[in-house]
Structures are given as C-alpha cells and as structure tokens.
Structure 1
Amino acid sequence: MELRTYQQEARESIQSEWEKGIQRTLLVLPTGCGKTIVFSKVIEDRVRLGERVLVLAHRGELLDQAADKLAQSTGLGCATEKAEQTSIGSWFRVVVGSVQTMMRDKRLQQFAPDYFDSIIIDEAHHCLSDSYQRVLAHFKDANVLGVTATPDRGDMRNLGSYFESLAYEYTLPKAIKEGYLSPIKAMTIPLKLDLSSVRQQSGDFAANDLGTALDPYLEQIAAEMWKVAQDRKIVVFLPLVKTSQKFTEILNRIGFRAAEVNGESQDRAEVLADFDAGKYNVLCNSMLLTEGWDCPSVDCVVVLRPTKVRSLYSQMVGRGTRLFPGKTELLLLDFLWHTERHELCHPAHLIAENEEIAQAMTKQIEEAGVPLDLEAVEKQAAEDVIAQREEALAKLLEEMKRRKRKLVDPLQFEMSIQAEDLYSYVPSFGWEMAPPSEKQLQTLEKLGILPDEIDNAGKATKLLERLDKRRAEGLTTPKQIRFLEQRGFQHVGTWSFETAKRLIDRIAGNGWRVPEGINPREYHVE
C-alpha cells in the first residue's frame, strides 16, 4: 500500500523520535486521514527490527479495525488479548489488546515487563486514565506512540503530562485544502437553547441534565432541520438513549426516514448497514458512534450533545468529514446555546488557532443565517483579530518609543512577521514549560529580542528557531524591524534583509530622517 505524502512523513517522524531516545511520542491526524494505516506501517517497521508490538484500545471495534488494517496494509497477522482470548503462546509479533483486559493484575503478570518493545495507543486522549497508566507502567521501558485526532491545545497540554513530544501533526484545514477531507460549512440554527441549569460532571456537562434541558426544544429542532437538511444524510448525536429515541420518533413524524442505535441495540449492525445503503437518511445515537464507525456518505452532522471537550467534539464532527462521490461538503449544524460560561465547543473550534479567533468566527456564523465555509470564516476572523491586535500594538509601540528600548519586544517581532504560531503559542510538554535557559536568553538579546517577556523554554526555542530560519532565508533582523517600525513603516518583518538595509542606508544618508516623498504608512516594497 502506497502511503500519502503526509502519512509517510508521519511514519518517518515517529521512527526518528524513537531513534533520538524520545520514548513517548504523539501523532495527531484528523479523523478520516488514515491514522490506523500510519501506525500499521510503523508496526511493520518495528517487526522488521525483531520487536514485539502491543496495540492498546478501549473498545472492541477499534481493536478489530486495527487488526483488519494491519493485515490489509502489511500482511501481518496478530494475536488478541480480550476477555477469554489470549496471545500467550502465540508466535505473532503483534498483539491487539483491550485495556480493560490488560489492566487486570492476573493478566499483566503473565507478561514480563520487557515483553513488548513498542506500544501503540489508539485514541490516545483516553490514555491518562488509571487503566491505561497501569498497563503502561508495567511495560515502562517500551517505546510508546499515542495516536489522536484531538485538535485542541487544552487536550494537547493534558497529554503533554505523559508524552514527551509531538512527532507529527497534520491539521484539519490542511487536509481539506489538500483534498483529503471534505470542506465544512457551518450554520447556526436561530434557536436559543438554555443550558444554564445543567450541572458539570468530570469536566463536561452532565448527560442526564442535558437530556432534560433538550426535551422542550426537540420538536423545534426537528422542524429547523427539515428546512435546511431534509435531502441530506444526517448523523445526530444526543446525550441520552431515551432522548435519542424520542427525537427519532419526532423526525419520522415530520417526514424524515430516521433510525436509532444505542449500546443495547440487538440489530445495530443491520441498522448501520441499512443507513449506509440509504434505507434511512437520519441516524440518531447517544454518543455510540463517536469512534470506530465510518460512513463516508454522511454529509450533515447535528451535535445535540453540547460539550466542552474538544476531542469529543472533533470525534462527532469527524463522522462526516470523509470524502464520498458526489459529496461537496459537510454541513455542520450548531445552535444558540445559552450557558453561564463561554466554554462550549462550536464549529469554529475545529480549526481556530486560539479562543480569540474562535469567538470572532462563532459570532460571524451566528449572524449569517446561511451555511458558511469554515476556512473562509477563519481567514476573515483572523484578519479582524490581527487588526485589533495591531491597534493595541501601536499603543504599545508608542510606549516603547518613550522608553527608548534598544531591543525589539517579542510581540512586536511576532506581529511584524505575522507569526500566528508564535504569538498564540502555549507550551504543551514538560520541557517546554520549564524556564528558558540563561544561554537562550543571552542569545535572544544578542539577536535583538528583549528576553524579559519570554517565560518558558518552549517559546524561547521557537523564537530562536524562527530567527535562524529567517537569517537563512535573508529576511529582516529584529533590529531592522525595530528601527523601521519606530519610524512608522508597516510589517517590516515580511521584507528582505537587503530591502530593509537599503532603506536604512537612505535614512542614515539623510541625517537619520525619512527622505522627502516617502510616506512610511503607505510605503510598499517592490
């Protein structure tokens, strides 16, 4: 099987991390981008080295999927550790194991601590739980790869308490842009749903309270869905089985062909097959289909299980992002959720770089009244946010002028070079959160950056890497940026070193005054 470019890059990056001695590393791929294929190829590489590999997951469907993809893409067979099935005595080099089975002392003690050389954790955002940690602690010297689709820095930060590095990340916008996933159009349905009385439980909304809070709105939601999505193939996520069943009845009453599945459904496989084949055009479920189920023809997702957890939201939306013949986009329906805190996931959170941009995007989508392309909305929101930041920055620069600093403030530098990844950076891993080293601070100051504002090693590392890269590409230095922007020139960070040098030489030759005929605010480089 020939890997896509990003899949091969991911495979090589993971091996590179392990070769460098980084034992626990992460792979982040959006749902639908072939994470199982990537880790199957990584497993193949490790088996060739003579290693034994364990694939850990928390659901049977994920284990079956891993075993199937491994066989299809590499020809490797595997043994299973699940309930009464055991791999003990098997000659297979790969084992797929249920974490609920593997965590039991009696089962774990059958394996020597060095039995597995590498461990793959599917849906790695679950791996911080006690059950996973018990298994990982037993095989403490094994290399570990966590695979997740989580798009959120908060989730990444939590994972950073166990994992040491991010080997490779492929983003949702990039996957859409490169044609591997369906474009997403988001629409806010103008229904105000009040969640202010819903309790919090384990960091999210309590499912029982959500079901009660949603009940009064189900008829209206169904009517709004009929207006905008009656011809689409829809998956609806709801908080409770009884809410899901009630909503299915309402949908059928108004003209949809709806079915419902839950953990107790005896005919689940049949219903899913019928939905796939087109017998139904709406499938309601109470969080059953968030992982391990694929139906590429789904072109509308309705999230009626509001959540604060980005990984969960991403999993729900991921059921509709795969490509399918004739499918032009995924329609994602959102609502005017009223909560006491603004912590709820919205479509914007799938691709927004930070909360500031997400809020600006959500406002645009809510006010539009029609489906909007998420990427286009993100671009506009990012521009608006940058404009606001530039206004605030101008005030800061005025203060800086008065203080006559000889060094450029990191924020000025980042804004000038338009580096969103730098000014919205949040450290994820332990080493990134540590204070910057004395050597890093001295180097930053030597290169013209004021180091006082840099409070962690991750940010210092990123800044130094960017400065190196800019020097290699022949772009402006921090000192050039400070000199020219103090005189009113705009976005000097995007200029070449030579362009800035020529202009500074002209200013110097004019008695350190801007030459007649040059308006700094309107000045454009050739």
Structure 2
Amino acid sequence: MQLRPYQNEAKNAVFSEWESGNLKTLLVLPTGCGKTIVFAKITEECVRRGDRVLILAHRGELLDQAADKIQKATGLNSSVEKAEQSCIGSWNRVVVGSVQTLMREKRLSNFDSDYFDTIIIDEAHHSISDSYQRVLEHFDNAKVLGVTATPDRGDMKNLGTVFDSLAYEYTLPKAIKEGYLSPIKAVTIPLKLDLSGVATQAGDLKASDIDTALDPYLYQIAEEMKKYCKDRKTVVFLPLVKTSQKFRDILNEKGFKAAEVNGNSEDRAEILQDFENDKYNVLCNSMLLTEGWDCPSVDCVVVLRPTKVRGLYCQMVGRGTRLAPNKTELLLLDFLWHTERHELCRPAHLICDNEEVAQKMTENLSEQAGYPIDIEEAEEKASEDVVAQREEALANQLAEMRTRKRKLVDPLQYEMSIQAQDLAGYVPAFGWECSPPTDKQKAKLEKLGIFPDEIQSAGKAKLILDRLEKRRIEGLTTPKQIRMLESRGFQHVGKWQFDEASALISRIAANGWRTPKNINPKTYVPQSEVNTVGLT
C-alpha cells in the first residue's frame, strides 16, 4: 500500500524526532486522513528494525480496526492484550492492547519494563489520563508516538506535558485544498436555541442540561432539516440517548428514514450497515459515533450536542469529511446557540487558528444565515476583515513604531506587514517552546533585522526564524527592507519581492536618499502586483 505524500512526510518526521532524541512525539492528522495507515507503516518499519510494538487504545473497536489495518497494509499479524487474552508467549512482534486492561498492576507485572520498544497511542488526546500514564511509566524506555485528530489549544498544552515534540501536523484546510478531504459548506440556521441555563461539567457543557434546553426545539429543528438535508445522508449528534431516540421518531414523522444507535443497541452493527446501504438517510446517536466509525458517503452533519472542546467538535464533523463517489461537499448545519457564559465551538474553529478570525467568521456566517457558505472562502474573508480592523486599530501604534530611530524591525510591525496570522496568534504548547528565546536565537534575529527583546518565547523565536528563511528562499523582502520603505510611508512592503524592494531603495539612494517626486508611497504598487491584478 503506497502512502500519500503527506503520510510519507509524517512517517519520516516521526522517525526523525525519535532519532534526534525526542522519544515521545505527537502526530496530528485530521479525521479521514488515514492516521491508522500511517501508524501501520510506522509499525512495519519498527518491526523491520527489530522492535516489539504495542498499539494502545481505550476502545475495542479501535483495537480491532488497528489490527485489521496493520494486517492489510503490512501483512503483520497482531496479538491481543485485552481481558482474558494475552500476548505473553506469542511470536507476533505487534500487540494491540486495551489501556483498561494494561493499566492494572497485576497485568503490568507480567511484563519487564523493556518488553516493548515502541508504544503507539491511538486517539492520543486521551493519553493525559492516569490509566495511560501508568502504562507509559512502566515501559519508561520505550519510544512513544501519540496519534490524534486536530486538538484544540487546551489539548495541545496538556499533551505538551506528555509528549516532547510535535513531529508532524497536517491541517484540515490543507487536506481539503489538496483533494484528500471533502470541501465543507456551513449553513447557519436562524433558529436561536437558549443555552444560558446550561452548566459546565468536566470542562464541557453538561449533557443533561443541554438535553433539557434542546427538547423544546426538536420539532423546529426537524422542520429546518427538511429544507437542507432531505436528499442527503445525515448524521445527527445529540446529548443523551433518550433525546436521540425521540428525535429519530420526530424525523420519521416528518418524512425522513431515520434510525438511532447507542451503546446498548443489540443490532448496532446491522443498523450501521443498513445506513451505509441507504436503507436509512438519517442516523441519530448520542456521541457514540465520534471515534472509530467510518461511512464516507455521509454528506451532512448536524451537531445538536454543542461543545467547548474543539477536538470533540472536529471528531463529530469528521464523520462527514471523507471523500466518496458523487459527493461534492459536506453540509454542516450550525445553529444560533444563545449563551452568555460559554465559548462554543463553531464551524470557524475547524479552520481558524486565530480566535479573532474565528469570531469574525462566525459573525459573518450569522449575517448570511440560511445560505451554505464554503468555510475556506469564509475564513479568507474573515482574515481580510480582521487585518483591516487591526490596521485601523493599530494605526497610531504602528506609526509610532515606524518612526523609532532603530535599525531593527519590531516583531509586531513585521507580522502586520507580512500579514502572518499564524505568528500573531501563536501560543506555545511544549515545554521548550514556553522558555525564553536563547541567546543564539536573539543574535540570529538581530542579524536578520528583527528586534528580539519583545519576543517572549523560544517557540515564537523559532517560528519567526523559520518564516524568515522561507521568505528568503521565496525571494521576498527582508525585515530591513520593510523597515526602510515602510518608514517612508510605503504600504505592505512585506508582500513585495526582494528584487523590487532593492531596486526601489537604489532609486531612493541615487536621489540623495529622498523619495522621487513621481512616486507616491501611499499608492505605490510594485510591478509584480500590478501584473497579478491585471491577470485577475
């Protein structure tokens, strides 16, 4: 089985991290991008190098899925460490193990601490829990790989206490752009649901409170669904089993062919198969289908279980992001949740790294309620709006920065000039990233024209240095060129080509370091941008 280019990059990045001494590393791939295939191939390479590998997960379906995928992708058979099944005495070099079983002291005592050379944790956002930590502490010399879908910043900070580094991250926008996941269109439903009385429990909204708040709106929601997903294959996520069953009945009253599954459904496998075979066109569930279930033909997701946890939200939406024949996009129904105390995940959080952009995108989508909007286009528009707002709000501050008599560019001015949202919204996650910039980093930043004193973390310093190198390779302007030209009133010099900036500086120098009279800095546009506008 041939890996896709990004999957191959991910595999190589993991081994590179291990070889550089980061023995606990993390791999982030969006739902639907083949994380099981990637760690199957990593497992194969580890076995080839003589390792014994443990695949660790918290649910039986994930273990079965991992064993099946490893066998199909590599030909390697797996032993099982779960309940009464044990891998002790097996010839297999791969073991799929239940964390609930292995965490027990009696079970762990059967294994020497060096029994496993490599441990791979599926759905690694769970690895912060005590049960996983007991297993990792017992096999304390093993290389560890955690695999997860896109986590939120809170998760990343927590995962930073378990893992030494992030080996590789493939983002949802990139996966959509490169054709590996389905485009997503979000439609804001102009139905206001009041969640102001919902409490928080264990860091998220309390399911029973959501259930109480949601119940009065179920018939209205079903009516709205008739407008948008009558001819679509839809998965609906609800807070509790009884509500999921009630909503199934309401949908059937409204003319849908709806079914419901939950953890106690004896005919669950049959219902899922019937849904896949189009006997039903709506599947209601109470958070059962967030992990380990795939049905690529799903082309509509309705989230009636609002959440503050981005990882959970991504898991729900991820049930519909896979590609399938004749599928043009995933439609995501987003309701106007009214809440005074909670920051809820919305479609914007699938694609926006910056919270300010996410808020603006959510605001823009709400203003276009009832119309499906491509989330990539919506994010681009929100980014432009935020940049414009920032430029207006920071005009005085930037004007002051530009007039400072220093040879170096302030980091904020640099970020604004090159319009780097990822730099502006950066939050350090791992321990080394949080520490202050090193003297070596400061010296290099200063040499390249950046004022380093206002950069607070080593992670931010590395990000800026990486961006400077990338821009050098792409032939874009240097910080010193930006400082020199923007101090004379030229706009957005960070987007110019190096050669164009250099030529203009030479003209100014030849004119006695005065801007030529036939050039207006506020309206000046480099030739490459003129050509680009002409082409479009």
Scaled to the shorter chain, the TM-score interval is over 0.9
Gaps of 5+ in 1: none
2:467 partner amino acid = R
Match of 2:508 in 1: 507
Q: Distance in 2 between matches of 1:402 and 1:421?
A: 26
Identify which range, 424-433 or 40-49, moves more after superposition: 424-433
Q: Distance in 1 between matches of 2:422 and 2:402?
A: 26
Q: Distance in 2 between matches of 1:81 and 1:340?
A: 47
Distance 1:470 1:326, change over 3 A: closer
Q: Is the 8 A contact 2:401 2:413 kept in 1?
A: no
2:406 partner amino acid = R
- Residue 51 of structure 1 deviates from its aligned partner by 0.4
Give aligned-pair identity as a percent: 73
Are positions 1:119 and 2:115 aligned together?
no
Match of 1:108 in 2: 108
Match of 2:235 in 1: 235
Q: Distance in 1 between matches of 2:402 and 2:353?
A: 31
Partner SS for 1:209: helix
- Residue 401 of structure 1 deviates from its aligned partner by 4.1
Match of 2:534 in 1: none
Q: Distance in 1 between matches of 2:140 and 2:100?
A: 18
Q: Is the 8 A contact 1:125 1:150 kept in 2?
A: no
Q: Is the 8 A contact 2:354 2:422 kept in 1?
A: no
Structure 1 segment 230-379 matched on structure 2, within 5 A: 230-368=230-368, 369-379=370-380
Q: Is the 8 A contact 1:259 1:280 kept in 2?
A: yes
1:227 partner amino acid = K
Match of 1:439 in 2: 440
Are positions 1:205 and 2:205 aligned together?
yes
Partner SS for 1:522: coil
C-alpha RMSD of matched pairs (Å): 1.3
CA deviations over 1:218-247 (Å, ceiling 9, x no partner): 111111111211111110000101111111
Q: Distance in 1 between matches of 2:282 and 2:104?
A: 40
Q: Is the 8 A contact 2:150 2:171 kept in 1?
A: no
Partner SS for 2:522: helix
Q: Distance in 1 between matches of 2:30 and 2:137?
A: 28
- Residue 419 of structure 1 deviates from its aligned partner by 2.3
Q: Is the 8 A contact 2:402 2:486 kept in 1?
A: no
Partner SS for 1:498: helix
Match of 2:410 in 1: 409
- Residue 44 of structure 1 deviates from its aligned partner by 0.2
1:189 partner amino acid = I
2:317 partner amino acid = V
Q: Distance in 2 between matches of 1:319 and 1:85?
A: 31
Distance 1:449 1:238, change over 3 A: same
Q: Distance in 1 between matches of 2:364 and 2:302?
A: 19
CA deviations over 1:493-516 (Å, ceiling 9, x no partner): 222333222212222232322101
- Residue 480 of structure 1 deviates from its aligned partner by 1.4
Match of 1:467 in 2: 468
1:124 partner amino acid = A
Structure 1 segment 411-430 matched on structure 2, within 5 A: 411-430=412-431
Q: Distance in 1 between matches of 2:310 and 2:473?
A: 37
Match of 1:68 in 2: 68
- Residue 156 of structure 1 deviates from its aligned partner by 1.7
CA deviations over 1:390-418 (Å, ceiling 9, x no partner): 22343222222454333211011122223
CA deviations over 1:109-167 (Å, ceiling 9, x no partner): 10111100000000011100011111111111111111011242332222112111111
- Residue 464 of structure 1 deviates from its aligned partner by 2.0
Q: Distance in 2 between matches of 1:191 and 1:72?
A: 46
Identify which range, 229-238 or 493-502, moves more after superposition: 493-502
1:277 partner amino acid = N
CA deviations over 1:160-219 (Å, ceiling 9, x no partner): 121111111111111111111111010111111111111100100011111111111111
Q: Distance in 1 between matches of 2:502 and 2:184?
A: 44
Q: Is the 8 A contact 1:186 1:374 kept in 2?
A: yes
Q: Is the 8 A contact 2:125 2:151 kept in 1?
A: no
CA deviations over 1:443-468 (Å, ceiling 9, x no partner): 32232211221010111112222223
CA deviations over 1:24-76 (Å, ceiling 9, x no partner): 11111111111000000000000001100000000000000000000000000
Q: Distance in 2 between matches of 1:402 and 1:177?
A: 41
Structure 1 segment 22-37 matched on structure 2, within 5 A: 22-37=22-37
Q: Distance in 2 between matches of 1:401 and 1:7?
A: 44
Match of 2:530 in 1: none
Distance 1:393 1:407, change over 3 A: farther
Match of 2:495 in 1: 494
Q: Is the 8 A contact 1:151 1:350 kept in 2?
A: no
Q: Is the 8 A contact 1:150 1:156 kept in 2?
A: no
Q: Distance in 2 between matches of 1:420 and 1:401?
A: 20
Match of 1:8 in 2: 8
Identify which range, 282-291 or 395-404, moves more after superposition: 395-404
Are positions 1:21 and 2:41 aligned together?
no
Partner SS for 2:80: strand
1:73 partner amino acid = A
Partner SS for 1:344: coil
Identify which range, 55-64 or 364-373, moves more after superposition: 364-373
- Residue 424 of structure 1 deviates from its aligned partner by 1.7
2:160 partner amino acid = G
Match of 2:452 in 1: 451
Q: Distance in 2 between matches of 1:222 and 1:192?
A: 14
Match of 1:394 in 2: 395
Q: Is the 8 A contact 1:393 1:412 kept in 2?
A: no
Partner SS for 1:521: coil
1:148 partner amino acid = T
Number of corresponding residues:
526
- Residue 248 of structure 1 deviates from its aligned partner by 0.8
Are positions 1:38 and 2:38 aligned together?
yes
Q: Distance in 1 between matches of 2:254 and 2:396?
A: 57
2:448 partner amino acid = L
1:408 partner amino acid = V
Match of 1:485 in 2: 486
Q: Distance in 1 between matches of 2:275 and 2:471?
A: 53
Structure 1 segment 122-133 matched on structure 2, within 5 A: 122-133=122-133
1:447 partner amino acid = L
CA deviations over 1:238-277 (Å, ceiling 9, x no partner): 0101111111111111111111111111111111111111
Q: Is the 8 A contact 1:151 1:351 kept in 2?
A: no
Gaps of 5+ in 2: 528-536
Identify which range, 483-492 or 150-159, moves more after superposition: 150-159
Q: Distance in 2 between matches of 1:380 and 1:331?
A: 19
1:479 partner amino acid = K
Q: Is the 8 A contact 1:262 1:288 kept in 2?
A: yes
Q: Distance in 1 between matches of 2:473 and 2:193?
A: 53
Match of 1:190 in 2: 190
Partner SS for 2:465: helix
Q: Distance in 2 between matches of 1:468 and 1:175?
A: 25
Q: Is the 8 A contact 2:260 2:283 kept in 1?
A: yes
2:400 partner amino acid = E
Q: Distance in 2 between matches of 1:353 and 1:43?
A: 31
- Residue 359 of structure 1 deviates from its aligned partner by 0.9
2:166 partner amino acid = L
- Residue 469 of structure 1 deviates from its aligned partner by 3.4
Match of 2:81 in 1: 81
